[in-house]
Amino acid sequence: MIAWGQSASGEMLHISDVPRGKACACVCTDCNTPLIARQGSIAWHFAHASKTTCNGESALHKAAKQAVLRIVEAELSLYLPRLDGYFSIKDSAGDTYSEKWVIDPVNIVPSRGREEFRLPSGVQPDVLLEFNESASIAIEIHVRNRKTDSDVEKYKSLQQSALEIDLSKLPWDASLDHIIWAVREAAPRKWLFSSKALEEKDKAKHKLEAAIDRIREKKLRAVREAMALVIQSDANRFLCSRIHRSRLKATSSAKDAYGEAREITQAADLTLTAIDLPWKQYGDNWKTEGCVNDKVHVDVVLALDSTCDLPIDKATPTLVLEFLSGRPDLTWEYRFRPKWINARHWQEALQGRANKKLSVLLRQTEQKKAEMDRFALRFKNATDYQRLTNLCKALELPPCRVIGRHISAWNTTDKVWKSLVWYYLLREEHSGFICTEDIAVDPWLGDLLKWPNDPDSITTREMDLRDWFLALTQDGLAKGYDNQVFEVIRMPERFCPWR
Ligand SMILES: [Zn+2]
């Protein structure tokens, strides 16, 4: 619906301010077709006099531009919204510093308004408002089409302040007074670009740079003071402090034959056992020579931080004592972090040791597993009599002629399961603590003996184990912690488990 028509003189007229019908003498601002003012019982509006697809969509936009010019003529004020942001800088150490800047909101009275004024590089704002000789703000009225990023970029490159006023929520038939009120203060608005913000960012930048310089100066002062303490300390005092000790570590890890993760770590303590004094100065760093673990010649460097150019010789192992500027609460020995450079062959030697130890461990585990697998295979294919004979041999007991009664919960005899648990879980593993609940469902034993796994059988095994361990406790071989956990405290030679 169209509420605004253009008069012969080019002025935009509201539907309520014109005579009815063709007498309105207005044309459509988009297609120039004569308009008819319909002022009947439904909402008053303009209609095109002849059939057309035009919907006169820029009528309100044009009326709004006219409203901006009215504001200038009537010397009314315009509301400029607040703008703020952060300016950040990174210093040479990589720390970020930020400063907030703010432009307060203000009402200003423009001195001049120019419609369709062409700025350099072809940018044409809806209205250019001037405030004094030097300041101007491009006003963009948003009714249907928002300004795009490239429009914003153009204002940025011209460093021309630009304000977008959003009239998209205004009713289509808003009156002139309503539009003026919206443009002046009521409608939402935002800065597309602000040259004032540029000034504020610049101010924030200078403030930050000055602050960073002060912080750096303070850091340097702290470093020089700490360095002075180190440099002035005699060799004895230096070698008694904690900073001459450091540790190198290497870790080797792999999965063993059972698929368990195994890890071996090797560490070496590197201790400065001698140091040459005095220190030689290289800018803000100092250097001298020393000896590690009474045999290896090394360089020692005191450093402000590792980002500086350090006086390091590429071949010589060097202990870099890096200064921690952030901890003024610590005494000087604690304000240096030791770090080894050119210590690759030491690291490699440690790694070699870790790898070797791990491979020995893996081989042992593999042999153990193979042995257990062989045992399991023989055991599974044997009769209870053969099983007991072999277990007696392993336990260095005389052969046992009577194998005892078969117990269905164990799927073997009392003598066999007790010998098996004693030899393989207690004697071999020697793990100290035994949990009857765990042994009653042990997968390795269960597989060897083909245990039934119904709840009754499990409970029976658990109770048998408990009775057995209680008996061992009475014999002084084990110690009970509750009814489930026991510790074998004595492992007699040639012990017969079932007696
Ligand atoms: Zn039209």
DSSP per residue over 330-356, as a string?
Answer: S-GGGGEEEEEES-HHHHHHHHHHHHH
Residue 147 Cα to ligand 1 midpoint, Å, equals 24
| Of 24, 7, 108, 118, residue with least CA distance to 66 | 7
Residue 55 Cα to ligand 1 midpoint, Å, equals 6
Residue 4 Cα to ligand 1 midpoint, Å, equals 11
Residue 45 Cα to ligand 1 midpoint, Å, equals 13
My answer on whether 253 and 188 are in the same domain is no
Residue 59 Cα to ligand 1 midpoint, Å, equals 9
My answer on whether 85 and 175 are in the same domain is yes
* pLDDT (mean) for 17-22: 93
Q: Two tokens at 85? A: 């942001």
User: Has residue 255 been placed in a domain?
Assistant: yes
Residue 156 Cα to ligand 1 midpoint, Å, equals 35
Whether the predicted pLDDT of 39 surpasses 70: yes
Please state the separation of Cα 450 from the chain's center in Å: 52
Q: Two tokens at 232? A: 């002035």
Residues 388 and 415: beta-carbon distance below 8 Å:
yes
Whether the predicted pLDDT of 326 surpasses 60: yes
**DSSP designation for 209:** H
Reading phi first (left if > 0) and then psi (alpha if -120 to 50, else beta), residue 75 is in left
CA pair distance 385, 276, nearest whole angstrom: 78
User: Has residue 163 been placed in a domain?
Assistant: yes
Residue 119 Cα to ligand 1 midpoint, Å, equals 29
My answer on whether 197 and 84 are in the same domain is yes
User: Has residue 215 been placed in a domain?
Assistant: no
CA pair distance 205, 210, nearest whole angstrom: 9
Give Cβ neighbours of residue 260 (< 8 Å, ≥ 6 apart): none
Q: At 253, phi and psi to the nearest 5?
A: -140, 150
My answer on whether 165 and 266 are in the same domain is no
- HSE at residue 231, side-chain half, CA atoms within 13 A, is 17
My answer on whether 243 and 347 are in the same domain is yes
What's the pLDDT at 129?
A: 95
Q: Give pLDDT tens digits for 462-481.
A: 999 999 999 999 998 889 88
* pLDDT (mean) for 184-198: 93
Beta bridge partners of 262: 254
My answer on whether 320 and 273 are in the same domain is yes
* pLDDT (mean) for 140-146: 88
Residue 9 Cα to ligand 1 midpoint, Å, equals 17
What's the pLDDT at 363?
A: 96
| Of 143, 332, 97, 382, residue with least CA distance to 224 | 332
Burial of 15 (0-12, 13-18, 19+ CB in 10 A): buried
Number of domains forming the structure of the chain = 4
My answer on whether 44 and 84 are in the same domain is no
Mean pLDDT score of the chain: 88
User: Has residue 376 been placed in a domain?
Assistant: no
Size of the chain, expressed as the number of residues it contains = 499
What is the residue range of 329's domain? 233-352
- What is the crossing angle of helices 344-380 and 384-394, to 10°? 140
Please state the separation of Cα 328 from the chain's center in Å: 28
Residue 174 Cα to ligand 1 midpoint, Å, equals 19
CA pair distance 130, 248, nearest whole angstrom: 71
User: Has residue 62 been placed in a domain?
Assistant: no
Beta bridge partners of 125: none
My answer on whether 90 and 188 are in the same domain is yes
What's the pLDDT at 492?
A: 84
My answer on whether 293 and 325 are in the same domain is yes
Of the spans 7-21, 231-245, 334-348, 418-432, which averages the highest pLDDT? 7-21
Give Cβ neighbours of residue 272 (< 8 Å, ≥ 6 apart): 239, 244, 245, 290, 291, 292, 298, 300, 319
List Cα–Cα distances, 305 to 73, 214, 244, in angstroms.
65, 18, 18
User: Has residue 464 been placed in a domain?
Assistant: yes
Burial of 177 (0-12, 13-18, 19+ CB in 10 A): exposed
CA pair distance 308, 389, nearest whole angstrom: 76
Residue type, 87: F
| Of 496, 497, 402, 382, residue with least CA distance to 450 | 382
Residue type, 198: L
Q: Give pLDDT tens digits for 194-227.
A: 999 989 999 999 998 898 888 878 777 777 777 7
Residue type, 462: E
* pLDDT (mean) for 167-181: 94
My answer on whether 471 and 408 are in the same domain is yes
User: Has residue 23 been placed in a domain?
Assistant: yes
My answer on whether 251 and 186 are in the same domain is no
Write down the residue that tokens 């005095």 correspond to: 278
What is the pLDDT confidence band of residue 278, given thresholds at 50, 70 and 90? confident
Of the spans 19-33, 123-137, 265-279, which averages the highest pLDDT? 19-33
**DSSP designation for 15:** G
Residue 71 Cα to ligand 1 midpoint, Å, equals 27
Percent of the chain at pLDDT > 90 equals: 50
Residue 132 Cα to ligand 1 midpoint, Å, equals 38
User: Has residue 19 been placed in a domain?
Assistant: yes
Q: Give pLDDT tens digits for 54-103.
A: 988 899 999 999 999 999 999 999 999 999 999 998 876 677 889 899 99
My answer on whether 346 and 409 are in the same domain is no
CA pair distance 184, 77, nearest whole angstrom: 7
Characterize the bridge pairing of strands 280-282 and 285-292: antiparallel
What's the pLDDT at 306?
A: 56
What is the pLDDT confidence band of residue 494, given thresholds at 50, 70 and 90? confident
